[in-house]
Structure 1
């Protein structure tokens, strides 16, 4: 991802949230999502020299951004040193099921192949997302997180996929 991609990435992310989490998160939270504010956060993160995250974009034949993935070091304490975490993977809602997400996932997995494992968090009720990750070889690892959003509790489950090192772990 370059600075020129940020506005398009923010639009993909906001559209992805609104599609994936409709009925799973309070609608007022989804309605309040702001692509301009999201883009500002991405700009700040890209400008932060200490950031260890990697951003990937998928483009269509015209060069337009149609998907985005972000990964980096695992953030949860107590996990194996060197593990990675997929922080986000979103595809423009009208392109879900066309292979864009699979292509992004394949590149994330390729880039994390030398890690002992790759983790991610997914909203418990996000059946489509969970199925996507399970098809990519992820399995729930038993960790659950709850966050209150606009008066509702949103549960997330953590998934794990063994990497190239420690693949049997």
Structure 2
């Protein structure tokens, strides 16, 4: 990992990035959710299937104002973030939502996620309303988002993930 984030490149994802995004996506899930999501579900995650899904999504380009940025270092993908219009019924005007943000586990704690969030905030505007959903048991992510200006707003929901009903908490900023 670089000591200086200036060495990390943040750019809009391209279709050719799909396999690398999928590998990071699966590895991150398997590590971050190891004690949260059922093991059988995590074991069933397939980077090739995920790569096909990512390629289809990225081939459509930024549609419906959905955009994915990647963080890379010397050609290696370190992580990604996808942002689009909020899907919540009670969304504020012009509210955007971070749909997903995952990093290669080897990059955790090195500032790459902070760099991605800064890019999103810069692109949307510092005062733009932004939300995301975090698994309640994912303390690492919850702590990170609080440190980057997000706060839980008291809204929760359950989502079926691999046959388990898991509690999610909504965070907002702006």
The TM-score with structure 1 as length reference comes to 0.89
Output one character per residue of 1:44-96: Cα deviation in whole Å (capped at 9) or x when no partner.
21233644211101111x22111111101111112112100011111110111
Equivalents in 2 of 1:154, 1:12: separation in Å?
22
> What is the aligned length?
161
Aligned-residue offset at 1:125: 0.4
**Structure 1 regions of 5+ residues with no counterpart?**
163-169
The answer for the alignment partner of 1:6 in structure 2 is 18
Output one character per residue of 1:21-40: Cα deviation in whole Å (capped at 9) or x when no partner.
11111111111111111111
Is 1:43 aligned to 2:55, yes or no? yes
1:52 is aligned, of 65, 68, 72, to 65
**Structure 2 regions of 5+ residues with no counterpart?**
1-12
Alpha carbons 1:84, 1:115 under 8 Å: kept: no
> Secondary structure at 1:131's aligned position in 2?
helix
Which deviates the most, 65-74 or 43-52?
43-52
Q: CA RMSD for the aligned pairs?
A: 1.4
Aligned-residue offset at 1:114: 6.0
Is 1:91 aligned to 2:132, yes or no? no
1:152 is aligned, of 139, 164, 169, to 164
Alpha carbons 2:155, 2:169 under 8 Å: kept: yes
The answer for the alignment partner of 2:5 in structure 1 is none
